[in-house]
Amino acid sequence: MERRYMPVVIFLAAITVGIIIMVVISVVQNKPLYQKYKYGIVLDAGSSHTSVFIYEWPAEKENNTGMVQQKHTCNVKGKGISSYSANPQGAGASLQECMNEAKQKIPAHRHPETPVYLGATAGMRLLRMENEEASKKVLDSVALSLKSYPFSYQGARIISGQEEGAFGWITVNYLSENLRKPTGTLGALDLGGASTQITFVPQQKIESSDNSIDFRLYGNNYHLYTHSFLCYGKDQALKLSMGKKLESTLKTDPIELRDPCFHPGYKVPRTVPDVFNTPCTKELKLANENFLHVGLGNWSQCQQSIRKVFNTSICSYSKCSFNGVFQPSVYGDFGAFSAFFFVMDFLNLTSDSLATTKEKLAAYCSTPWEKIVGNHPKIDQKYLSEYCFSATYILTLLEDGYKFTSNNWKDIRFIKKIGDSDAGWTLGYMLNLTNMIPAEAPDMPLMPYGGYVTFMFFFALLILVLLLLVYLYFRRSTRTAQKDII
């Protein structure tokens, strides 16, 4: 080879090596780190029970919507932590089994950086009202227990009703990937054992500051209406309703509470303090401590009796739901989860019109208790006996309380999960505390990863081909020049 071509060859070789290096570096640099997951743990200390949620997300995508998923849940055995008021140590000890499970589920090298949060809801709000000292002891006990694990303990506290409503709304909208899109958002309806929450973006002005929450998420402003009704979860509402019926029952001895919300043939002895053992019901001085709870199975009478727990005669705003609480007209689609789902799903009432739902429920309530038990031999009779009441309560709360009508009934979606994750306040709570939902939308990459690699590869190839063409052209033209000289 002639000496004068040497610089061209070296030049081309250097460029080729350079391009190869460029492609290799960009591929390695941008390779998604699939194996790098991060984790977070949230304990939902509800009035009826505690659940431990483990969430996971790819480390490099934590600010993208929809990336956090529920990896595992564990239901703590026994009742909620507020039931340990007489034995606070028991509350902390009750968490051990599920927390040990969390240690197994999360890779050990991630333990020290995995945050653990405990949020307690309406059961603990009621205990705090009844006995503040006892509620502190229970919280201290669960805190001590959680600190004994290798995770990063971030606190155990009673969350407010507004937080419970707002974080439930964030959860359902994050999981439905509504937050970065111009489409509407999903309202959130949560029914617990001791409280219930309603949260949505209203079309009207929010007239009471207690019911308004503002968020800036991914560059959009959200102005939310939210309210939490303490004592209107389904277990406390049953006590409210039974308490009202007991008050109006003649003080006969023995007292017989004839209850249209329980099946015909249902007959169970109860005690008066069993109904009045909560700050939600006022203590009644009844001669007899015992009464017989007798089912009548009459749906319309049941609804009449439940209406009495909603006070719709007072309202100092332009409109109210009940008990003098401001509420704008419900607007848009709603996700109704927790006990809204458990009850309606059990009764197969999640997809009918309001009129059909009422008809089916009336038939269910009038079914003899014996037959109900025969149809569901494996279900705990305490829970089984309450479905007629619970579903009637749900219909009354949604229709008479929140003012849903037969026209917008179809806008309520009874849901348990979205994807693999449960609807509830816990995910929204963790996303907020770990700053995983930024106020401004993060910069989007120019193109997706696959497209980027393909582009880089073909672009490099193009440069190579061009250089080759230049070289060939250069060689040809110098040869022609040499020929011309000869």
Closest CA to 53 of 66, 70, 28: 70
* Binding-site residues from annotation for ATP: 193-197
Supply the minimum distance, in Å, between the C-beta of residue 196 and ligand CTP. Answer: 8
Determine which residue in the list 38, 42, 43, 46 makes contact with Ca ion, applying CB under 5 A.
46
**Which amino acid is located at 224 in the chain?**
L
Q: What three-state secondary structure class fits 361?
A: helix
User: Is residue 191 within 8 Å of 336, Cβ to Cβ?
Assistant: yes
Map residues 59-98 to x or -, x wherever contact with ligand CTP holds by CB under 6 A: ---------------------x------------------
Helix H or strand E encompassing 299:
helix 299-307
Q: Which is nearer to ligand CTP, 114 or 390 (CB)?
A: 390
Helices (H), 72-131: 88-94, 96-105, 122-130
Q: Which partner, Ca ion, ligand CTP, none, binds residue 278 by CB below 5 to 8 Å per kind?
A: none
Q: How far is the CB of 122 from Ca ion (least distance, A)?
A: 7
- Residues contacting residue 140 through CB under 8 Å, at least 6 positions apart: 88
Can you tell me which of 83, 145, 338, 350 binds ligand CTP, judged by CB under 6 A?
Answer: 338
Single out the residue of 471, 184, 188 nearest to residue 338, CA to CA.
Answer: 188
Interface residue with ligand CTP among 88, 123, 161, 260 (CB under 6 A) is: 123
371 to 430, contacts with ligand CTP by CB under 6 A? Answer: 383
Buried b (16+ CB within 10 A) or exposed e, 324-336: ebbbbebbebbbb
Neighbours of 275 (CB within 10 A): 24
What is the distance, to the nearest Å, from the Cα of residue 423 to the centroid of all Cα atoms in its chain? Answer: 3
Q: Which amino acid is at 228?
A: S
Which of residues 192 and 297 has its CB atom nearest to Ca ion in the complex?
192
Q: Is 122 an interacting residue with respect to ligand CTP (CB under 6 A)?
A: yes
Omega before residue 58 within 30° of 0, cis? no
Residue nearest to Ca ion (CB): 192
Rounded least distance, CB 213 to Ca ion, Å: 18
Near ligand CTP by CB under 6 A: residue from 38, 39, 43, 46: 46
Q: How far is the CB of 150 from ligand CTP (least distance, A)?
A: 27
Cβ at position 338, least distance to Ca ion in Å: 5
Site for ligand CTP in 159-198 (CB under 6 A): 192-195
Q: Name the segment binding Ca ion (CB under 5 A); options: 46-54, 131-139, 385-393, 430-438.
A: 46-54
Binding residues: 193-197
Specify whether 97 is catalytic. Answer: no
Q: Which does 339 bind (CB under 5 to 8 A by kind): Ca ion, ligand CTP, none?
A: ligand CTP
How many C-beta atoms lie closer than 10 Å to residue 443's C-beta?
6
Among residues 246, 330, 339, 344, which is the contact residue for ligand CTP, using CB under 6 A?
339
Q: What minimum distance in Å lies between the beta carbon of 125 and ligand CTP? A: 8
Q: DSSP letter string over 127-184?
A: HHHH-HHHHHHHHHHHHHHHHTSSSEEEEEEEPPHHHHHHHHHHHHHHHTT-TTSSSP
Alpha carbons 402 and 79: distance in angstroms, whole number: 30
In whole angstroms, what is the distance from residue 47 CA to residue 234 CA? Answer: 11
Binding mask 195-234 for ligand CTP (x = CB under 6 A): x-------------------------------------xx
Question: Whole-number minimum distance, CB 123 to ligand CTP, in Å?
Answer: 5
Residue given tokens 């401590």 in the structure block: 289
Q: Which of residues 170-199 bind Ca ion (CB under 5 A)?
A: 192
Name the segment binding Ca ion (CB under 5 A); options: 39-47, 204-212, 268-276, 357-365: 39-47
Cα angle for residues 29, 30, 32 (degrees, 5° grid): 120
Compute how many residues bind ligand CTP; rule: CB under 6 A. 19
Other beta carbons less than 10 A from residue 430's beta carbon: 23
Among 164, 177, 256, 386, the one annotated catalytic: 164
- Residue 83 near which of Ca ion, ligand CTP, none (CB within 5-8 Å, type-dependent): none
Please give the residue ranges that form the binding site for ligand CTP (CB under 6 A): 46-49, 80, 121-123, 192-195, 233-235, 338-339, 342, 383
List, by residue number, the catalytic residues.
Answer: 164
- Using CB under 5 A, list all residues that contact Ca ion: 46, 192
